[in-house]
Amino acid sequence: MFQTLDRLSPDAILGLMAQFRADPAAQKVDLGVGVYRDLAGNTPVLECVRRAERRVLEAQTTKSYVAAAGREEFNRAVEALVLGDAHPAVRERRARTAQAPGGCGALRLGAELIRAAAPATTVHVSDPTWGNHTPLLGSSGLKLERYPYYDAPSHELRFAAMLERLDRAAPGDVVLVHACCHNPTGADLSMDQWQALTGLLARRRLTPFLDLAYQGFGADLIEDVAGVRLVTSTLPESLVAVSFSKNLGLYRERVGAIITVSESETRADAVQSHVLQIARSIYSMPPDHGAAIAACILADAALKDAWIGELAAMRGRIQEMRALLARRLRAVTRDGSFDFIERQRGMFSLLGVSSAVVDALRTRHHIYMLSDSRMNLAGITPENAAYVAQAVAAER
Ligand SMILES: Cc1ncc(COP(=O)(O)O)c(C=O)c1O
């Protein structure tokens, strides 16, 4: 049987990580893999997570199964964090939340749910989008199309073109939107643009699927979900895929959730029954440890405050590194062509150079980024910013 299977080419990001590790150069810079890094280049365990983890372990009396929906207290807390207590769908009991194995698990559950409800649905994703959206959504058998989102040469959103394209989508189609800190561009919708998009989704009867993987990395925990709250409280139906990998630094614990909003309480129960059946058929139940930690933090005022502080520090560091790199680039190029880096949000921006330049940066300067020139700004430090700027100026 296995003779039919040929070896696949390695995942681009994993391949890049291996290349970076094997590079013997003393001065090398990893702007590739999408994890947060502190000044020392580490991806730390947050202090609030350490404290919560100790409590979770001390209180734990069993390792027995939890449920296909995971922890109820986690699901309630996620709903409150993302939608807020005043949300009409929460008040009217039209929202349902199921714990999922990370944001990826949530995206896949959402895709399978869409496929179960309306197999012919097309999902419209931004051009460009995070590389894993295509396999995660496409593997469920849904058709994917791209809507214009970002113009690399001008570093601006293509918002008019985005609306014009979505205006031609078939009623019932799904539109995947990054809730904040767009990956890979760092370019987000303004509140006016969220308003206009919401109007179009309602008018064209399109279903929003919001990918929320960086809540707290853009502005703060509230502002980063303003678009999510607007869309989910205006439209009768929506989906939100939530990840705590980045904002709680719980990457390997696989902590996420899928929130669905339905037209009525009865319909919401029906939808949730399908979500749980899909979960049962793929992995049965989500892992508990990370969700127990997240629930502990979200339920305890002191731990939550500590988290908000640590989150602000991570966000602040990325913003400082954005400003620093833009400043260094301005100094060596003597123009403002990289000022956009400072304006954008979240961990990623597209440097906006060709793949040949990306190759030259890697082979000549040992600076690693994805072939589309996506940089993880958390890989920048006060020590390497000038080096990176000089290399970019030399190669662009
Ligand atoms: C846009 C986006 N969505 C979802 C995820 C899901 O992450 P995870 O499955 O690790 O929670 C990521 C992680 O990189 C992401 O960048």
Active-site annotation holds for 211: yes
- pLDDT at residue 13 in the model: 84
Q: Which of 211, 224, 288, 372 is catalytic?
A: 211
Phi, psi of 278, deg, nearest 5: -65, -45
**Cα–Cα distance, 123 to 143 (Å, whole number):** 6
Catalytic site includes residue 143: no
Pocket probe for ligand 1: among 33, 43, 78, 104, the residue whose CB has the most ligand atoms within 8 Å is 104
Nearest CA to ligand 1 atom 7: 103
- How far is residue 210 CA from its own chain's centroid? 10
Alpha carbons 143 and 153: distance in angstroms, whole number: 29
Pocket of ligand 1 (CB under 6 A): 34, 102-104, 130, 178, 183, 211, 213, 243, 245, 251, 256
Q: Tens of pLDDT along the chain (396 residues)?
A: 999 999 988 788 888 989 999 999 999 999 998 999 999 999 999 999 999 999 999 999 999 999 999 999 999 999 999 999 999 999 999 999 999 999 999 999 999 999 999 999 999 999 999 999 999 999 999 999 999 999 998 999 999 999 999 999 999 999 999 999 999 999 999 999 999 999 999 999 999 999 999 999 999 999 999 999 999 999 999 999 999 999 999 999 999 999 999 999 999 999 999 999 999 999 999 999 999 999 999 999 999 999 999 999 999 999 999 999 999 999 999 999 999 999 999 999 999 999 999 999 999 999 999 999 999 999 999 999 999 999 999 999
- Which residue among the candidates 130, 173, 288, 307 is catalytic per the annotation? 130
Ramachandran quadrant class, 205 (left: phi over 0; alpha: psi -120 to 50; beta: rest): left
The pick from 11, 126, 150, 183 for probing ligand 1's pocket by mutation, whose C-beta has the most ligand atoms within 8 angstroms, reads 183
Ligand 1 centroid to Cα of residue 387, in Å, is 29
User: pTM of the entire structure?
Assistant: 0.97
* Model pLDDT, residue 9: 84
Looking at residue 33, what is its pLDDT? 87
**Alpha carbon nearest to ligand 1 atom 6, residue:** 103
The active-site residue out of 194, 246, 307, 372 is: 246
Ligand 1 probe mutation, 33, 99, 132, 182, most atoms within 8 A of CB: 132
pLDDT score for 194: 98
Atom of ligand 1 minimally distant from the CA of 211: 3
For 26: left if phi > 0, alpha if psi spans -120 to 50, otherwise beta; the answer is alpha
Nearest in space to 69 (alpha carbons), one of 56, 61, 78, 82: 78
